[in-house]
Chains A and B, each alone.
Chain A
């Protein structure tokens, strides 16, 4: 049966699952552009009037998918089009319905062009997600027990009071301390991320998780496993809220109510969220102008306050065990107990109290701008439990809005269901590890949402498989068959999970699994992925007889694999193997009174030094008492004994350990080695501090005339490449006249959000059957060229101090991927030292350039972070050297313009020309332009047009930000986004710079005042490069760098660096340039990992697979 444009709505509204779950591919199959657009118009009208939120959201996602995947291939040959500044503005400010209306109005009812289709796709997608987030937010607020906190806006109506037991003490004793200990959760299966809130609310029958509460220790460090997260609460005799995170080494006295809502001011955001979400400082008081003292007087008593302390048993971040959610749960539980919100001050919680803690942990995560799944607070419950979505009933606030409730139902599986023997077997077989990778799971959860709504055939079938496997896993567990359990979780990982989200696996994960399989053979029973993706927390199941040995070996296997891949993948820490045991208590509290009323041991090294620095006469009595008590107990108490050494260390801070001791040497040595130009650096700093350079100064004068370039003014690959060009190109390739230059000096800050890995080595996608790095992908295309034309082109990879050694080692380890041609590295030694940014530039970046506005709480969080970062820049010195990080994170490459001169300076080009006198042309491209290749037609076109440089451009889509091809004061040139006088100018430009350039070597040398002979003279070459460089502008830019500390913790700092950019060659009047428009698949750059899924699904990955010859002898 042929699809019909009206089938989409019938699919959404049908009550028959067979119809409702039809895949979108089936609905769109066979529809031409007109019919698809007709379907879009109907869907758009439907979503505007749909009373049911979930039908509306599904319509929005159908619209997104049509505009993103199904319509664009049918628009070939139509004008590229442009997205207006108005539509862009609406999108950036999260006015998605207005953006849609604007784009639809611009199309005048006709089929949109490619650019507007991309804009519509993004607007529909974001609007759909926003509708879902809004609904979750409404549901969180409407949970009974949470509602009053939004209404309470003044201390006089604050309904809570501190439990009197916590205020009772003898005159010479400290206040009692309430200790809450909580497990973390490990999920045996989440049935393909079915713990996403929205999925549970729309499809409660498909939302099923098997979740185990566990205690943890680190193998080789801890003798036993214990509850990994804990909170302590006590009254203090000062009218402040004292928050302390022992794990993050941070403490603060909150004296103003506003600071409670300033989450990013310090490392105490989680504790603040707990205090708010538990109602001690009700969220309704945000922005009320209330005095904190007034609130504390009502809550605790006159002159009193309270203290909340968090501890994590040194469990590294990214463990996929929901450590932060369960810590939030522990903190909330302690606060609730302290204010009579639980039946009992101590002991375990009852079911309704656990549910309340879970609901408030969701609220707390929302407040802090983060979010996990609904199973994450599972550590608050004891033992092994099934957590399932629930249909909303008439008494539920969700009734009539969504099929399911926000909060799922927990069924604890007692020993009558899963025997003590099975529990022991599970503990004896499982080796629980943290692989060391820390990645953001957020994009994966968005992908899951999208795929669920679209019911794509493969993914929907995989979800059904996953649900069926849930029953099998549960049965295996009930039967105590751990070997079968291992087989099932492995099948789950390689089957449904990867079918839905290919990015759930990594090369690191698969390498470790292969190694475990190879070494342990049949004693390796299986692998299981914890949480949202692999690479961090993971489970390996072994025959219990082998487990002790496996625990030791897995640490080594993980360590070796990490070492092999540490430059290619973002590792936050060295892998660890855990000790673990099932926690049968869930969250539970004890009260310590009298001389036993001590805080957690780790608290004292943090606090006592501060007390000792104070004038003893000014210490509040309770603090003085605390110091005395600690002094009396420290020597005798085995737990406190270990705190003396760190206390002394904190009391006498040592000089910061040489930055980069673990990074292959000091920063100064690196700077020396790379010939760092101190004089030039001081000049840059002086210009920056004096305001002569800066983000605002990057811009061209306001009087500059910026105009768009029409498609007819430049070449078009489809239109202008002739058979003659193809023949010319083919002959040149066969004659060895062309070499490829892949730019790989940078680390791709956006790609791993500042993690500093070598992007070229990142195994970003499975192509032709296995993970491939960018560099291997480009080599495979050069090999294909060699096979096709009979001559393997020389292939140069440019490197820098950041990337040279890792790339050289990687190519050596892989035998240059068996490349038959010449493969050369061009080591660029130019280096810059990053600077602490000027507050002026931060303010410019944050306030005067447009950004995507975020969801309400995330935006608040971002603003809070920005304020904190400006404070940081002021405190450490604006424009000072950025040295407080690993050396490789303190220095930067000085822009890709230098990578071509480096070929001249380091002799790489001279060498190639000596070896291959026929070499005439270079194809320069970014490492992430995966679709580029030595296309003979384009080569022929480049030769025919006679330009020294032919730049490839692509029709712009919504994601293509950062300048483009423009007519500037009458001259066609590429312009960087940061140089445009007005941000809106970018929206005038139809074409975007792909950065790919065909370079004629001799004319280029001529421009530098050189030729093939003089290239052999280093002094002349250096002088020529210096002369030429002076003609190009230097841009000041801000980049994000990660600073890692503690146990996998990461902070992101903005730093200032300077760059010269290759596209500015087009601005020079004496450089003959041409421009050619190429298809997106060829010119698309992969800048962020979130692009990968769409790139895979729109056929780009397949197209690129076909461009390479992947098999090689190694």
Chain B
């Protein structure tokens, strides 16, 4: 399975300016978050990238994409009609190819020195020839912010799961009933990392769900993925990496620190942090 396209959604009502924020990368160079995400995708062998934006944001995003601007296709989502609609807007760009889907308000830091998070995911999808969502075990107190999957180990392989249920932002009440995954610690569930490799059938499902929803076009991705397992193989993979949500309080700061500590100037950053801590009264 060749995965050459990626879709980044950046039209969310509260997220549209986050990818435009400047962040200092591992090497110490300030760059927009969008560039960081584009390079994450390129590191996974992606050749074409579509970015879903709000109307009128194209200029800003083009500037933020810098040297990559020429290879980006901007797709407008006229109204903020939800995540499902945003992905569905990319259908024309994606065609029938499998694609890497990323959200624009996250920054990923890989724990594998050789492979980015996106690359790990794309490699698994290519090897298994199926849709795969990146997940991480998350404590029940945090799951209501994420899409969450239920399932069991795939083929007995550590960190790879066959997905049986997907629920958008569940409470633990629901999660305990439908989303328990054998082998995880008590009170932990597999939550989306905001990065998926999906197949065209997901777009078809979104199309169907959006037409059912009619004017109430707030369809989420989880609804489209919930019964994917019944049609085709659908896996979830725990990848060696961490996700930082810029939309959280101090999210940008935390992501910045994580990136900095992951780079060659780690000692310098640590020294600054220690000195800050010492000065705090």
**Which A residues are closer than 8 A to B by beta carbons?**
144-148, 151-152, 156-161, 279, 336, 339-341, 352, 356
Are A148 and B177 within 8 A (Cβ)? no
Residues of B within 8 A of A152 (CB): 141
Q: Known: A156-B141, A159-B143. Contact between A144 and B171, CB under 8 A?
A: no
Min CB gap B131→A, angstroms: 25
- 3 tightest Cβ-Cβ pairs between the two chains A and B: A157-B141, A148-B172, A144-B176
Q: Known: A157-B141, A159-B143, A160-B144. Contact between A151 and B187, CB under 8 A?
A: yes
Residues of B within 8 A of A279 (CB): 171-173
Are A159 and B176 within 8 A (Cβ)? no
**B175 to chain A: closest residue by CB:** A148
Can you add 5 more A-B contacts, CB < 8 Å, to A145-B174, A341-B174?
A148-B173, A156-B141, A157-B140, A158-B141, A340-B144
Q: Known: A148-B140, A148-B187, A152-B141. Contact between A159 and B180, CB under 8 A?
A: no
Are A159 and B177 within 8 A (Cβ)? no
Is B71 engaged at the interface, CB distance under 8 Å to the other chain?
A: no
Whole-angstrom CA separation of A340 from B145 in the bound complex? 12
Can you give 30 A-B contacts (C-beta < 8 A)? A144-B176, A144-B180, A145-B172, A145-B174, A145-B177, A147-B176, A148-B172, A148-B176, A148-B187, A151-B140, A151-B187, A152-B141, A156-B141, A157-B139, A157-B140, A157-B141, A158-B141, A159-B140, A159-B142, A159-B143, A159-B144, A159-B171, A279-B171, A279-B172, A339-B171, A340-B144, A340-B169, A340-B171, A341-B171, A356-B177
Whole-angstrom CA separation of A160 from B175 in the bound complex? 12
Whole-angstrom CA separation of A981 from B199 in the bound complex? 85
Min CB gap A576→B, angstroms: 38
Is B277 engaged at the interface, CB distance under 8 Å to the other chain?
A: no
Are A356 and B173 within 8 A (Cβ)? yes
Counting chain A CB atoms within 10 Å of each CB, the highest count among B172, B176, B186 belongs to B172
Contact among B142, B177, B186, B187 for A144, CB-based, below 8 A: B177
Q: Known: A161-B144, A339-B171. Contact between A145 and B176, CB under 8 A?
A: yes
Residue-by-residue, is B174-193 near A (CB-CB < 8 Å gives 1, otherwise 0)? Answer: 10110010000011000000
Residues of A within 8 A of B177 (CB): 144-145, 352, 356
Residues of B within 8 A of A159 (CB): 140-144, 171-172
**B171 to chain A: closest residue by CB:** A341
Residues of A within 8 A of B141 (CB): 152, 156-159
Interface SS of chain A: helix, strand, loop or mixed?
loop
Whole-angstrom CA separation of A279 from B173 in the bound complex? 9
Residues of B within 8 A of A336 (CB): 173
Residue-by-residue, is B136-150 near A (CB-CB < 8 Å gives 1, otherwise 0)? Answer: 000111111000000
Whole-angstrom CA separation of A339 from B174 in the bound complex? 12
Residues of A within 8 A of B172 (CB): 145, 148, 159, 279
**A144 to chain B: closest residue by CB:** B176
Residue-by-residue, is B120-153 near A (CB-CB < 8 Å gives 1, otherwise 0)? Answer: 0000000000000000000111111000000000
Quick one: which of B220-249 are within 8 Å of A by CB?
Answer: none
Residues of B within 8 A of A158 (CB): 141
Quick one: which of B153-183 are within 8 Å of A by CB?
Answer: 169, 171-174, 176-177, 180
Whole-angstrom CA separation of A151 from B172 in the bound complex? 11
Residues of A within 8 A of B139 (CB): 157
Residues of A within 8 A of B187 (CB): 148, 151
Residues of B within 8 A of A157 (CB): 139-141
Are A145 and B186 within 8 A (Cβ)? no
Contact among A146, A147, A156, A160 for B171, CB-based, below 8 A: A160
**A159 to chain B: closest residue by CB:** B141
Whole-angstrom CA separation of A339 from B169 in the bound complex? 12
Whole-angstrom CA separation of A145 from B180 in the bound complex? 11
Residue-by-residue, is B4-46 near A (CB-CB < 8 Å gives 1, otherwise 0)? Answer: 0000000000000000000000000000000000000000000
Whole-angstrom CA separation of A110 from B240 in the bound complex? 69
Min CB gap A1007→B, angstroms: 74
Whole-angstrom CA separation of A341 from B172 in the bound complex? 8
**B144 to chain A: closest residue by CB:** A159
Residues of B within 8 A of A148 (CB): 140, 172-173, 176, 187
Residues of B within 8 A of A339 (CB): 171
Min CB gap B41→A, angstroms: 32
Whole-angstrom CA separation of A156 from B141 in the bound complex? 8
Whole-angstrom CA separation of A341 from B140 in the bound complex? 14
Are A151 and B144 within 8 A (Cβ)? no
Residues of B within 8 A of A156 (CB): 141
Whole-angstrom CA separation of A340 from B172 in the bound complex? 10
Min CB gap A405→B, angstroms: 14
Residues of A within 8 A of B142 (CB): 159
Residues of B within 8 A of A340 (CB): 144, 169, 171
Q: Known: A151-B186, A151-B187. Contact between A145 and B173, CB under 8 A?
A: yes
**A352 to chain B: closest residue by CB:** B177
Min CB gap A160→B, angstroms: 6
Whole-angstrom CA separation of A340 from B168 in the bound complex? 11
Counting chain A CB atoms within 10 Å of each CB, the highest count among B172, B173, B187 belongs to B173
Min CB gap B145→A, angstroms: 9
Whole-angstrom CA separation of A151 from B187 in the bound complex? 8
Residues of B within 8 A of A352 (CB): 177
Residues of A within 8 A of B171 (CB): 159-160, 279, 339-341
Whole-angstrom CA separation of A279 from B176 in the bound complex? 13
Min CB gap B189→A, angstroms: 11
**B139 to chain A: closest residue by CB:** A157
Residues of A within 8 A of B144 (CB): 159-161, 340
Min CB gap A595→B, angstroms: 25
Residues of B within 8 A of A341 (CB): 171, 173-174
Residues of B within 8 A of A151 (CB): 140, 186-187
Min CB gap A288→B, angstroms: 15
Min CB gap A571→B, angstroms: 42
Whole-angstrom CA separation of A340 from B173 in the bound complex? 10
**A278 to chain B: closest residue by CB:** B173
Min CB gap A952→B, angstroms: 62
Min CB gap B130→A, angstroms: 26
**B170 to chain A: closest residue by CB:** A340
Whole-angstrom CA separation of A1042 from B69 in the bound complex? 82
**A152 to chain B: closest residue by CB:** B141
Counting chain B CB atoms within 10 Å of each CB, the highest count among A148, A151, A279, A341 belongs to A148
Whole-angstrom CA separation of A144 from B186 in the bound complex? 12
Whole-angstrom CA separation of A660 from B141 in the bound complex? 56
Min CB gap A302→B, angstroms: 12
Whole-angstrom CA separation of A156 from B177 in the bound complex? 23
Whole-angstrom CA separation of A837 from B180 in the bound complex? 55
Min CB gap A345→B, angstroms: 13
Min CB gap B178→A, angstroms: 8
Residues of A within 8 A of B180 (CB): 144
Residues of A within 8 A of B176 (CB): 144-148
Min CB gap A939→B, angstroms: 72
Min CB gap B133→A, angstroms: 21
Min CB gap B60→A, angstroms: 28
Whole-angstrom CA separation of A146 from B180 in the bound complex? 13
Residues of A within 8 A of B186 (CB): 151
Residues of B within 8 A of A145 (CB): 172-174, 176-177
Min CB gap A281→B, angstroms: 14
Whole-angstrom CA separation of A341 from B142 in the bound complex? 14
Min CB gap B110→A, angstroms: 28
Min CB gap A142→B, angstroms: 10
Residue-by-residue, is B67-109 near A (CB-CB < 8 Å gives 1, otherwise 0)? Answer: 0000000000000000000000000000000000000000000
Whole-angstrom CA separation of A341 from B180 in the bound complex? 17
Residues of B within 8 A of A160 (CB): 144, 171
Whole-angstrom CA separation of A1050 from B265 in the bound complex? 74
Whole-angstrom CA separation of A161 from B172 in the bound complex? 12
Whole-angstrom CA separation of A147 from B177 in the bound complex? 10
Whole-angstrom CA separation of A218 from B174 in the bound complex? 39
Counting chain B CB atoms within 10 Å of each CB, the highest count among A145, A146, A339 belongs to A145
Whole-angstrom CA separation of A33 from B176 in the bound complex? 53
Min CB gap B190→A, angstroms: 16
**B169 to chain A: closest residue by CB:** A340
